[in-house]
Amino acid sequence: MKDVVGSPGTWSGMALRLSQCVSAGASMGAMATAYGFSNYTAFCYLIASMALQLLWSFGLACLDIYSLKTKRDLHNPVLVTAILSFAAASASAGVTILFERDVHFCRMYPQLSCGRYALSVVLAFITWSFIATSAVSMFWLLPSL
């Protein structure tokens, strides 16, 4: 059985899952502390998808920790929430760009936390990059199952 970097039950896999948890939590925190985020569906969708990603990644990290502790092999295909997270990040990025650059909404309403919107979107894309790395390692591992 191949030992692929980022595969379930390995130290690198656990590090990837914990990185996903941290970046998803940071994205949620940045958006939740921004003023007026709940008025826009894309931002609410981002928080919902990052919450789901946080829970999913935490569960997988716990599974990795259990596997490392008991020295069990976890080379089974695992579902990933990459498409949901990427869609939420893309939708939120589109709204953020619309607000800041296209209609200059942030200049007209300075009480909006446009900087936090942008920070949350960047963190969501970082989360997605960790998810994509996990997905690639899973697809790489799939032929050896």
- Give me the residue spans of the domains in the chain: 11-144
pLDDT(81) > 60? no
Q: Which residues have CB under 8 Å from 57's CB, separation 6+?
A: 17, 18, 20, 21, 24
CB of 117 closer than 8 Å to CB of 31: yes
State residue 79's pLDDT score.
44
State residue 143's pLDDT score.
65
Which residue from 79, 76, 80, 96 is spatially nearest to 27, judged by alpha carbons? 96
pLDDT(60) > 50? yes
Average pLDDT over residues 57-65: 84
Which residue from 70, 32, 35, 34 is spatially nearest to 54, judged by alpha carbons? 32
The mean of the pLDDT values for the chain is 78
State residue 22's pLDDT score.
92
> pTM for the whole thing?
0.66
Average pLDDT over residues 32-44: 82
Locate all alpha helices (DSSP H) within 71-104, ordered by sequence.
Answer: 82-97
State residue 77's pLDDT score.
47
